[in-house]
Amino acid sequence: MAFHLPSSFARQSTLPEDAPPTLRDTLRLVPQPPSPGRWLLVSVAYVLLHRLLLAGSMWLSLEEGYSLWYPPAGLDVALLVISGPWFVPTVILNQFLVIEVWLGADSFLGGMGWGWTLVYTLGQGIVYGGVVSLLLTSARCNARLRTVRDVSFFLGVMVLIAPFLLGLWKMGVLEITGRMDAEAFWPQVLAYTIGDGTGIGMLVPVLVVALRPFPALWWDQPLRPSEGYQRVARPAQLLEGGLLTVVSLGLAWLIFIGRAGAALEFSYVLFLPVLWLAVRYGMEGAALGALGVNVTTAFIVAPSDIAGTNPYAVQLGMLMVTLVGLFLGAYVSSRRRTRARLERALARAEQLDAMKQTMLLNLSHELRTPLTMALGAVEILHEEAPPDHRPLTSDARTAITTLTDTLDQVVDLTRLGTGDLAVVLGEVDLGEIARRSADDVTAQAATKHLRVVIDTPSHPVRVVADEDLLQRALRPVLENAFAYTDAGTVTLRVAQEDDTGTLAVADTGRGIEAARMATLFETFAEEGDGYRRRHDGLGIGLALTHGLVEAQGGWVSATSTLGVGSTFTLRFPLASSPEPAVPSPHPAAAPHA
């Protein structure tokens, strides 16, 4: 269950949803340094928590110098990632106090002297502080670890590279001061890298996920649209988490204690709880799962004093569980955000489409009455006008009729989209439709000196269709035939093929390019060259034909040859066929060779 925080906590989003911030955005968003009071409060809370985690890591050591995991390093990185680079002095000062005061002169690190101790502790702030600053600015990573890219950079740089660099720094100081043998240098660097890396990979994602909803705690306070909320576990989820904890404890006990010899060859089973939580709950589940498996493993292994246990193997296994779990969690979260974004975009598109269709229907209703009145007035003026004025009134009548027809096409296309088109099926004589349509275009044919040919069989071809819709579907095909034919004939051919009746319109025009045939019946399909500009239109005619024919249970197809002409064929089930089937629409046919 998720709830949104009050607006005072969840600030206005100012960054893109998934795109990383640009360097300019990052620099623009860097706030002023924290006030002395806030710096002191955060520093004190950090020091106290650091002491607690340090004591726990020391208790969970397998042997001197080998801690299974080092969560204080994760706390150092989390402080710098969340609160900003102004807390680098806090990290350095805390490390100095740990060595000189908390551990004391009797410890392995004690007795180096203040100078070398300061050099030793400077590495903590310089390496981790510098790497975090580069990661968040130059690499432009989102500190909240929201995407696979962010998690990849974090795991690669902060979990692997940064601990290795700091290990080189600190082990180098110990070797220079004579507190470590040269042959132990690289094993200690490896142990330090894995221990700090495990602590960082285990603790930082949990703190980052838990503190996402509270921008006031972050140094880059602006949020993404999906941030500013907090997930609250339902009882079923709490039960699931409890069961997984018990399973993790049982698996760790069985792997490290319950079997004779305490071998590690079955430690891969510990991946299962983390993978389950990552798939179920994304990055949040992966972070909590990695923390749970690491803690339960450490609490099982460390106090048991298992003979012959290789600390490197245990550390490396815990690190691999953390890396794999976080990668999978980031991927799942990213996919879910993408899906949610697509669903929101689809819902918005559907809403806008509904608004558009409503607007078009309302607009047609508002325009139809004045157009009808204007046409009536022009008809009267045409009858009473002097002969020399009649061409003007005739042009006005043609313009109003064209506008009315265009409005009818827009309304039909809109109703097809909403499913509100009324279809009344009955027996229709295709020959009669062809002859009536030829009479309607006689004047247009005479203007362009084109010949209209009607080719019908001796017997009627009756089909199941809506007579009015059939004529409206045929009109754009005829208009295109006359528009794109400069000389020759336009033929209306009626035929019967098996259980279907066909009405074809063939012209001797320029033809259609092969590349356009696949999108011929789509809305606003382009011609592909300058020919469309010679015959302006809305680009919805053939799409309307396709939709109107399909609405009646028919289908339409087209063939064309450049320089020869095009043929559009409308097919409908014969009226004499018992229970005429409604065929699926056929795609546009390929042009003739």
Contact 92, 99 (CB under 8 A): no
How confident is the model at residue 71, as a pLDDT?
87
Q: What pLDDT digit, counting tens, does each position of 60-71 carry?
A: 665 555 566 688
Complete DSSP assignment for 245-302: HHHHHHHHHIIIIISTT--STTGGGGHHHHHHHHHHHHHHHHHHHHHHHHHHHHHHHG
Per residue in 150-172, is it b (16+ CB within 10 Å) or e — as a string?
bbebbbebbbbebbbbbbbbbbb
- In angstroms, the CA 324 to CA 330 distance is 10
Residue type at 272 in one-letter notation: L
How confident is the model at residue 303, as a pLDDT?
61
pTM: 0.62
Residue 495: exposed, middle, or buried by beta-carbon count in 10 A (0-12, 13-18, 19+)? middle
Work out the pLDDT band at 224, boundaries 50, 70, 90: low
Reading the block at residue 556, the tokens are 């339409």
> How many CA atoms are closer than 13 Å to the CA of 444, on its beta-carbon side?
20
- Residue the block writes with tokens 């998934």: 18
Residues with Cβ within 8 Å of 135's Cβ and at least 6 positions away in sequence, in order, are 141, 153, 154, 157, 158
**Phi and psi at residue 221, to the nearest 5°:** -70, -30
Q: How far apart are the first and last CA of the chain?
A: 62
Report helix angle 88-97 to 114-136, nearest 10.
Answer: 150
Q: What pLDDT digit, counting tens, does each position of 174-205 carry?
A: 999 888 888 889 988 988 888 888 889 888 99
- In angstroms, the CA 37 to CA 42 distance is 9
How confident is the model at residue 164, as a pLDDT?
95
pLDDT for residue 75 is more than 90 = yes
The residue ranking higher by pLDDT, 476 or 367, is: 476
Q: What pLDDT digit, counting tens, does each position of 526-547 carry?
A: 544 444 444 455 667 888 888 8
Indicate the SS3 state at residue 75. Answer: helix
Complete DSSP assignment for 323-381: HHHHHHHHHHHHHHHHHHHHHHHHHHHHHHHHHHHHHHHHHHHHHHHHHHHHHHHHHHH
How confident is the model at residue 246, as a pLDDT?
77
